[in-house]
Amino acid sequence: MRIITGIMIVAVAVLAATGCRADTAEPLGVPVYRQGELGYNTFRIPALAVTNAGTLLAFCEGRKGSSSDTGDIALLLRRSGDNGDTWGEHQVVWDDPGNTSGNPCAVVDRDTGTVWLLMTWNRGDDHEKDIIAGTSRDTRRVFVTHSTDDGLTWAEPKEITKNVKRENWTWYATGPGGGIQMLHGPHRGRLIIPCDHIEAETKHYYSHVIYSDDHGETWQLGGRTPEHQVNECEVVELAGGRLMLNMRNYDPEKRYRQVAFSDDGGASWKDQRFDTALIEPICQASIVRHSWPDGDRPGVILFSNPASREKRVNITVRASQDEGESWKAQTLLHAGPGAYSSLAVLSNGEVACLYEAGLKNPYESIMFAKFSVPAPVSHPLLSSAREWELIWNDEFDGDSLDTSKWEAIGDSPRRAAFWVKEDAYLDGTGSLVLRTKRDGDRLTSGAVRTLGRFEATYGYFEARCEFPTQPGHWPAFWLMPSSDIGSLAQAGQDGTEVDIMEKPWRGDKIQHALHWDGYGKDHRSEGKEVEIPGVSKGWHTFGLWWTPEEYVFYVDGVETWRTNAGGVCQVPLYIKLTEEFGDWGGNVADAKLPDYFRVDYVRVYRDKGMVDGE
């Protein structure tokens, strides 16, 4: 990981919550659109809406000649009358042959039942760069259509460009995704569509909104953001009638979403800032109100995007119970490639997400998934009852291993391999790599430790890891005392080996274990095997909360084991990251090498309310 702000927990560190999925081969849900169907090359840019009658409307772009953003693109729709269990035939909402009709952004007028769909148009031979440069044959135009029969039929698209686009704007996009109707305050009933544009003179991206106060009959331009480097966006109404605009961020140094606020129904925006809980790879996202505060029950706002700074993967839905101030619950829909998404709330209260996903690239299909509101995770760092201080960490951002923090273990036989120093290195992209390879007649692998450099008594220890894929591997994240694990078990006073994570190759199982009373005939141990579907693939976090009373183990922010077996260790322990080979790791002969155990970061936090050695 690249950035730490105070003791912020990067969202992926608590990616899996109650009821969520870890990395799996297939995305959650059912495909509504599949690449290559019906003569279309690719389906992109999902937009999901739920009508007053409960009908689901799943819009997207049907790209005919290629997957490009430019060319012959039609705007399509599929409908569902049973909360997404089945879907009707494909409908063409708008097709101007040879040209680009897209960027669907839908809003339902709850007062009238009318569904309004805002869209953009440009010539199929005008590329975005030419439109931005002002050298295109035409420009980006804005259109609106509507349906009064739950999406069965649609009015002829009407152009509204002059009302909602300034003359010095070149590029323009509606949404994509969903708009809102304000439900509270002096602007109750206002329909709002999030948009973005580029100024001709500066070439700067800004987000803005357009709105209607007459149930969609006319549309006018609202306010733009005070700062640039933002574009695709969605809007949510907060308690009290304030609006929050959540925006795609184009600052490559800060891979977080940006937000801005409006107190006048979107006529102006202020207080633009980064939301450091919402990481992004520079991509569209979706935000929607699930429920409003009611007495002691908090309201819920939902957010979806690819939760990664590096690339479009990890389609994640987060929930906030404090009006977007924090995001303490998450559900992972797909850990593989994924991009744009659109959230909605079903008539039965379930959450629905229409999102782009695939196995090899994000645009293989548009999936529909429905699920319960994510529940807050049990991750200790999210506890408001404690004040945590980051006391030690390594983000592995350099070009070589930091020898002030780590010792690479060398020329040491271990299981079926030798630990050698050259097999522990940084890859230059922010990860520690522990490699296993064949070196002549022997196998070698990597291991590092903080012995003589860092040790701690109590605290929260966490590492984010990606496992090898071949048989025979035995990666581990563990703690050790500098003097061995002792010969006595009374209250752990002579040290304990604490195996935060051991991963046998076969299956989606993680081992937690404790060892004490030495390694001889008096050795004692206790452990737990936990099955985590999909843990063998992708990145996952492994944590230990060590207190004077107990050990609590976590996988992806969810508690997996709690114990005080052997008497809790009361002496300092150092950190080890190791890649072993053979034994119960699997059949060495079947392995294709080299293979790699990768670690994104290691972090250690101290509870400031606990006195050292307490």
Q: Which residues are catalytic?
A: 69, 232, 340, 356
**Strand extents, DSSP E, 90-216:** 91-94, 100-108, 115-122, 141-147, 158-159, 169-174, 177-178, 180-181, 191-199, 205-212
364 neighbors 319 (Cβ within 8 angstroms) = no
Rg of the Cα trace of the chain? 27
- Helix or strand (DSSP H, E) at 351: strand 351-357
Backbone conformation region of residue 411, classed left if phi is above 0, alpha if psi is from -120 to 50, else beta: left
Backbone conformation region of residue 273, classed left if phi is above 0, alpha if psi is from -120 to 50, else beta: beta
Closest by CA position to 115, among listed 146, 71, 85, 87: 146
At 133, phi and psi to the nearest 5?
A: -75, -15
Residue 250 corresponds to which tokens in the numbers above? 């184009």
Closest by CA position to 316, among listed 332, 339, 327: 332
Residue 406 corresponds to which tokens in the numbers above? 């780590």
Closest by CA position to 196, among listed 235, 158, 145, 162: 235
Distinct helix (H) and strand (E) counts, the chain? 2, 43
Residue 471: CB atoms within 10 Å: 19
Euclidean distance between CA atoms 396 and 14, whole angstroms: 20
Neighbouring C-alpha atoms within 13 Å toward the C-beta of 271? 10
Euclidean distance between CA atoms 265 and 379, whole angstroms: 37
